[in-house]
Amino acid sequence: MTPDQKCEFWQKHINAWQQSKLSQKHYCQQHDLRVANFGYWRTRLKGGAQKQGSGLSLPHFEMAISLWSLTWTYMGTAKS
Protein backbone atom coordinates (compact mmCIF):
# COMPACT_ATOMS: atom_id res chain seq x y z
CA MET A 1 0.00 0.00 0.00
CA THR A 2 1.41 3.41 -0.94
CA PRO A 3 1.56 6.22 1.64
CA ASP A 4 -1.36 7.96 -0.10
CA GLN A 5 -3.39 4.74 -0.05
CA LYS A 6 -2.68 4.31 3.66
CA CYS A 7 -3.84 7.87 4.34
CA GLU A 8 -7.02 7.30 2.35
CA PHE A 9 -7.70 3.93 4.03
CA TRP A 10 -7.40 5.40 7.51
CA GLN A 11 -9.24 8.62 6.68
CA LYS A 12 -12.22 6.58 5.43
CA HIS A 13 -12.24 4.55 8.66
CA ILE A 14 -11.97 7.68 10.79
CA ASN A 15 -14.89 9.27 8.94
CA ALA A 16 -16.97 6.10 9.26
CA TRP A 17 -16.14 5.86 12.97
CA GLN A 18 -17.27 9.46 13.54
CA GLN A 19 -20.56 8.72 11.78
CA SER A 20 -21.06 5.46 13.68
CA LYS A 21 -21.24 7.03 17.17
CA LEU A 22 -19.38 3.96 18.48
CA SER A 23 -16.45 4.20 20.83
CA GLN A 24 -13.08 3.96 19.13
CA LYS A 25 -12.53 0.57 20.78
CA HIS A 26 -15.84 -0.89 19.59
CA TYR A 27 -15.43 0.44 16.05
CA CYS A 28 -11.96 -1.13 15.84
CA GLN A 29 -13.26 -4.45 17.15
CA GLN A 30 -16.02 -4.51 14.52
CA HIS A 31 -13.56 -3.75 11.70
CA ASP A 32 -10.61 -5.85 12.90
CA LEU A 33 -8.40 -2.80 13.41
CA ARG A 34 -5.83 -2.29 16.16
CA VAL A 35 -6.88 0.51 18.50
CA ALA A 36 -3.28 1.75 18.71
CA ASN A 37 -3.01 2.02 14.91
CA PHE A 38 -6.38 3.75 14.71
CA GLY A 39 -5.35 6.30 17.35
CA TYR A 40 -2.03 6.90 15.62
CA TRP A 41 -3.67 7.62 12.27
CA ARG A 42 -6.45 9.67 13.87
CA THR A 43 -3.83 11.95 15.41
CA ARG A 44 -1.70 12.00 12.28
CA LEU A 45 -4.57 12.93 9.98
CA LYS A 46 -6.34 15.29 12.37
CA GLY A 47 -7.26 18.34 10.34
CA GLY A 48 -5.17 17.12 7.37
CA ALA A 49 -7.90 15.82 5.07
CA GLN A 50 -9.88 18.44 3.22
CA LYS A 51 -12.71 17.78 0.84
CA GLN A 52 -12.27 19.43 -2.51
CA GLY A 53 -15.11 18.94 -4.97
CA SER A 54 -16.01 15.26 -5.09
CA GLY A 55 -12.53 13.99 -4.18
CA LEU A 56 -10.51 13.92 -1.02
CA SER A 57 -7.21 15.73 -0.78
CA LEU A 58 -4.93 13.93 1.65
CA PRO A 59 -1.58 15.08 2.96
CA HIS A 60 1.49 13.18 1.86
CA PHE A 61 3.65 12.00 4.71
CA GLU A 62 7.17 10.70 4.62
CA MET A 63 9.34 9.47 7.41
CA ALA A 64 12.16 11.94 7.84
CA ILE A 65 13.95 10.05 10.57
CA SER A 66 16.25 7.14 9.96
CA LEU A 67 16.34 4.89 12.99
CA TRP A 68 19.99 4.15 12.33
CA SER A 69 21.05 7.79 12.52
CA LEU A 70 19.31 8.73 15.76
CA THR A 71 21.42 10.02 18.61
CA TRP A 72 20.03 9.64 22.09
CA THR A 73 21.19 10.44 25.59
CA TYR A 74 21.21 7.88 28.36
CA MET A 75 22.32 8.84 31.84
CA GLY A 76 24.04 11.95 30.50
CA THR A 77 26.09 10.12 27.85
CA ALA A 78 25.39 10.64 24.15
CA LYS A 79 24.91 7.40 22.22
CA SER A 80 24.66 6.83 18.46
Question: Domains of the chain: which residue ranges?
Answer: 1-49
C-alpha 67/C-alpha 17 separation (Å) is 32
Q: Which amino acid is at 13?
A: H
Can you give the pTM of this predicted structure?
0.57
**CA–CA gap between residue 17 and residue 11 (Å, rounded):** 10
**DSSP conformational letter for 67:** G
According to DSSP, residue 34 is labeled: -
Please write the tens of the pLDDT for every residue from 13-70.
999 999 998 999 999 999 999 999 999 999 999 865 444 333 454 444 444 434 444 4
Cα 78 → chain centroid: 31
- Residue range 1-12: mean pLDDT, rounded: 92
* Other residues' Cβ atoms within 10 Å of the Cβ of residue 43: 8
